[in-house]
Amino acid sequence: MTPVIMTVNGAEVSATVEPRTHLADFLREQLLLTGTHLGCEHGVCGACTILIDGEPARACIVYAATCGGRDVRTIEGLADDPIAAALRSAFTAEHALQCGYCTPGMLVSARDIVRRLPDADEDRIRLELAGNLCRCTGYNGIVRAIRRVLAQRPQDVIVAKPPLPRGQFAEVREAAPTVTRADAAPTSTPGDTLKQTLRLALPRETVWRAVCDPALIASCVPGARVTSVNGDRIAGELVASLGPIEARFAGEAIVTYDSHGGQIKAHGRDPASGTRLSADATFQVAEDGPQASTITLDIVYALRGPLAQFGRGPVVRVFAAEIADAVGRNLEARLRGEAIPEAPRLRAGSLIWRALWRWLRGLIGGR
Ligand code: FES
Ligand code: FES
């Protein structure tokens, strides 16, 4: 058993938990806070969404033992919260619930949208709710309820949140990835932004020649494969094993190059799950000393559909860092004529879980 002290709904809680106990079980079974519901227990459905240090999190994929010193707030702890109160009234007025099973998690996510995105339109609300599943009401009433609260614009309750801290979770080689919301991103793809920097111990011209060869770059991305190149259009696929799910994204990218840089517009779809991925990226290859260079990528991406939860929150930051790290290692190996050490696809047993583990370590405080 592991001792842990955390704050739950404003009160300090001291307990001993089994290391394997997830936070939702701890809240429900030891603290009897049964407003936190459990659906999938895989981080997929969003029924267990709560706040940890003010940020929405899935209580079913956070170990209670890692929450020492954290401020946890459940739906019960939002009883007197003015945004939650406005949302509860709006959910009633707009018939935004039927059985109510998804409602606690839905309200926590809705409150986050109202606080963070006061100008969100219907598309953005639907995008933000992609990680909360409702199996009986349908989403129209839920979206209407959130829009109703946003339209009321209660200035005393809508508080724009500060941007996420930069480089908080992981490093890619010497440079840290950063993720910020992309409400004002100057590209056509609405979504989140990700900045990624790869540092390679190779001269810029060597790296640039590799970057101009899409098939070579794809061979360095775990799970990726180019199937055809037609002018600036590149078709390919990406296979990823995500827990019990195997996603096989097939898609197309248009790549344009300028002086040691360029742009990529890409979209893909996993037919089995219906998940869609779109991304706009700009890249630049810069000299970093005579024998080293950096590739900087600015990406705006959107993931929609059943697998969208893998594109949300801290997991995507460390996941992206892991992929970039693998691509960097593979590219260096390739250009030196060595064998690529990475597994041929993204696997839950490697990248996702390593990413989750790094994230959990970050929660413990060991980042
Ligand atoms: S129960 Fe946690 S996401 Fe489904
Ligand atoms: S209201 Fe029943 S699952 Fe959403």
Q: What is the mean pLDDT of residues 203-212?
A: 88
Would the pTM count as exceeding 0.85?
A: no
Ligand number, closest to the Cα atom of 133: 2
How far, in Å, from the CA of 107 to the mean position of ligand 1?
14
How far, in Å, from the CA of 99 to the mean position of ligand 2?
5
Tens-place pLDDT, residues 289-334? 888 899 888 887 777 666 665 555 555 556 666 677 778 888 888 8
Q: What is the mean pLDDT of residues 82-95?
A: 95
User: Helices 353-364 and 313-335 meet at what angle, rounded to 10?
Assistant: 120
Ligand number, closest to the Cα atom of 28: 1
**Is 135 touching ligand 2 by the criterion CB < 6 Å?**
yes
Within 8 A by CB and 6+ apart from 208, the residues are 260, 285
Second CATH level (architecture) for the domain 2-77: Roll (3.10)
For tokens 């592991």, name the residue: 2
What CA–CA distance (Å, rounded) separates 293 from 329?
Answer: 14
Tens-place pLDDT, residues 94-148? 999 999 999 999 999 999 999 999 999 999 999 999 999 999 988 999 999 999 9
Query: Any idea what DSSP says for residue 135?
Result: S
How far, in Å, from the CA of 170 to the mean position of ligand 1?
25
pLDDT band at 89 (very low <50, low <70, confident <90, very high): very high
Tens-place pLDDT, residues 12-68? 999 999 999 999 999 999 999 999 999 999 999 999 999 999 999 999 999 999 999
What CA–CA distance (Å, rounded) separates 262 from 282?
Answer: 6
Q: Under CATH, which number does the domain 178-364 receive? A: 3.30.530.20
Q: Which residues pair with 258 in a beta bridge?
A: 261
pLDDT at 8: 96
pLDDT at 269: 83
How far, in Å, from the CA of 43 to the mean position of ligand 1?
4
Mutation pick for ligand 2 pocket among 95, 136, 139, 143 (CB with most ligand atoms within 8 Å): 136
How far, in Å, from the CA of 115 to the mean position of ligand 2?
23
Tens-place pLDDT, residues 239-284? 776 555 567 788 888 888 888 888 888 888 877 777 777 788 888 9
pLDDT band at 210 (very low <50, low <70, confident <90, very high): confident
Please tell me which residue, 25 or 159, carries the higher pLDDT value: 25
Domains of the chain, by residue range, sit at 2-77, 80-152, 178-364
Tens-place pLDDT, residues 179-193? 333 333 333 444 567
Protein residue closest via CA to atom 4 of ligand 2: 134
**Is 138 touching ligand 2 by the criterion CB < 6 Å?**
no
**Is 100 touching ligand 2 by the criterion CB < 6 Å?**
yes
* CATH classification for the domain delimited by 80-152, as one of 3.40.640.10, 3.40.190.10, 1.10.150.120, 3.40.50.300: 1.10.150.120
